[in-house]
Amino acid sequence: MSNALTDDNIKKFAAAWYNALDIHAPMEHCLEFLAEDVEMNFPPDPPFTGYDGFRHWYGDIIVKTFFDENHNVVSVTVDKRTDEQVDVSVVVAWQASWFKPTGLPEDAKSHRTSMNAFQK
């Protein structure tokens, strides 16, 4: 049986993951990408672990804050590989909009970010 952790499959996984974030896919679909003991850190948000941590970060912060998101995968580099695990560095160009309440009434215009994120 061939190893599913090929470079091509890893790139497809990364593209599918970021697409799920872009479209604000349902929570259960996003959880299919993650191990139950997942550990994530996306500063300035505090790090989190597990499905419950992801549910809070994604459902209470990301989906309720950002819209018009685009994650464009710039590069996927395999740093280390075993039969069971791959350490990967990803550069993703991320753009997103959000409304930042400033009191009443809220801002009349949305805010926009555009940056390269370096993730492992």
Strands 39-40, 48-49: pairing kind: antiparallel
Which pLDDT score, from 0 to 100, does residue 5 have? Answer: 87
Answer whether 0.75 is exceeded by the pTM. Answer: yes
Enclosing domain of residue 112? 7-119
Structure tokens at 53: 């941590």
Residue 1 lies in a domain: no
Tell me the CATH number at 28. 3.10.450.50
Task: Note the pLDDT of residue 105.
Answer: 60
Structure tokens at 80: 């280390």
Q: What is the pLDDT of residues 35-48, one digit of tens each?
A: 999 999 887 788 99
pLDDT digit string, tens, across residues 92-107: 999 999 887 665 566 6
Question: 7-20: per-residue pLDDT in tens?
Answer: 999 999 999 999 99
Confidence of residue 1 (pLDDT cuts 50, 70, 90): very low
Burial 6-37 (b: 16+ CB within 10 A, else e): eeeebbebbeebbebbbebbeeeebbeeeeee
Which phi-psi region, left, alpha or beta, contains residue 17 (left: φ > 0; alpha: ψ -120 to 50)? alpha
What is the domain count for the chain? 1
Distance from chain centroid for Cα 81: 22
Is the distance from CB of 59 to CB of 27 less than 8 angstroms?
yes
Is 108 inside any structural domain?
A: yes
